[in-house]
Amino acid sequence: MPDFKHNYPIDQIGVEERIQRFNSRSIKKETKLIGLKLALSMIDLTTLEGKDTPEKVKQVCYKALHPSNDIQGLPQLAAVCVYPIHVKTAKKYLKNSAVKVASVATGFPSGNTSLQIKLIETKYAIDQGADEIDMVISRGEFLRGNYTFVFDEIAAIKNVCGKIRLKVILETGELSTLDNIRKASDIAIYAGADFIKTSTGKIQPASTMPVTLVMLEAIKDYYIKTNIQIGMKPAGGISNAKNALQYLVMLNETLGSKWMTNEWFRFGASSLANDLLLQLGKEKYNGVYYSKDYISLD
């Protein structure tokens, strides 16, 4: 495992000042419309509840394929994310489309199970047809300072995934400090992550802009060293279009235009889709919001 020692701590005040600058950017109407559609195309629409049924998964898949029956010309969403048991159902309804099927695995959301079970669950999800795997790291081992354990576990999961894209969830709300988040990001990237992801959405705080900026900087430093792109997925806590646009400004100014696509950036925020649709409807109807009754609750 590489040495992840840093010669400096993360400057939290500096991070917060940069966030303020991102949030103060003025966005013209034409650019805003492009940004709203881009954000919509980057959403991983998620249903990860104990009450999930095949019919619920079917409904979520339909929304990913048809975000609005009223507004024409909208992009499909990036992916539908489900538990492994529902992968086959999602695959059935999303066939012949560009919408990916992502599956959580490795004892989501806690990660508190053995490596053997994590590997079996990951393989099961892939055998069912998953295009992407969202795994969770062992936060307890990380917080104990057992970084080699975390690195080796991610590497083992990636070995099972092969060419299937692996998103590694840090659960940043449990890592406490920006220094920890940077270290966990580096470990995940060097262990083989194709994406790094903030949160499961089950723990608060979930995604925040300072946390995401620190993770973007880890991706940037790795790209400078290796010329290898790593994706980013902030998840949880991003519920409105204004915030999504601020994230896109931060993404563009930190990593550049190569990352401004759903191949390299995702939002794990299902409720965000509805607000984006409301804002896009407002643009269509010259500043008038259409009723929320036209938007599904999922």
The CATH code of the domain that includes 102 is 3.20.20.70
**Residue 134 annotated to the active site:** yes
In this structure, is residue 3 part of a structural domain? no
Sheet of 231-233, strand order: 44-46, 79-82, 100-105, 132-136, 165-169, 195-197, 231-233
In this structure, is residue 169 part of a structural domain? yes
CB 139 within 8 Å of CB 111: yes
DSSP-assigned states of every residue in 266-295: -BB-HHHHHHHHHHHHHHHTTT-PPPGGGS
In this structure, is residue 2 part of a structural domain? no
d(CA 41, CA 263): 10
pLDDT tens for each residue of the chain, 298 residues long: 777 666 568 999 999 999 999 999 888 888 999 999 999 999 999 999 999 999 999 999 999 999 988 888 899 999 999 999 999 999 999 999 999 999 999 999 999 999 999 999 999 999 999 999 999 999 999 999 999 999 999 999 999 999 999 999 999 999 999 999 999 999 999 999 999 999 999 988 889 999 999 999 999 999 999 999 999 999 998 989 999 999 999 999 999 999 999 999 999 988 899 999 999 987 765 555 555 555 555 5
Three-state secondary-structure class, residue 231: strand
pTM exceeding 0.85: yes
Please give the tally of structural domains in the chain: 1
**Residue 275 annotated to the active site:** no
Q: Which of 91, 158, 167, 233 is catalytic?
A: 233
Of 176, 226, 225, 181, residue with least CA distance to 205: 176
In this structure, is residue 90 part of a structural domain? yes
In this structure, is residue 44 part of a structural domain? yes
Q: Which of 91, 183, 197, 275 is catalytic?
A: 197
In this structure, is residue 8 part of a structural domain? no
CB 164 within 8 Å of CB 133: yes
**Residue 167 annotated to the active site:** no
In this structure, is residue 95 part of a structural domain? yes
Of 72, 90, 73, residue with least CA distance to 81: 90
Expressed as residue numbers, the domain containing 214 is: 14-294
Q: Which of 44, 131, 134, 194 is catalytic?
A: 134
In this structure, is residue 1 part of a structural domain? no
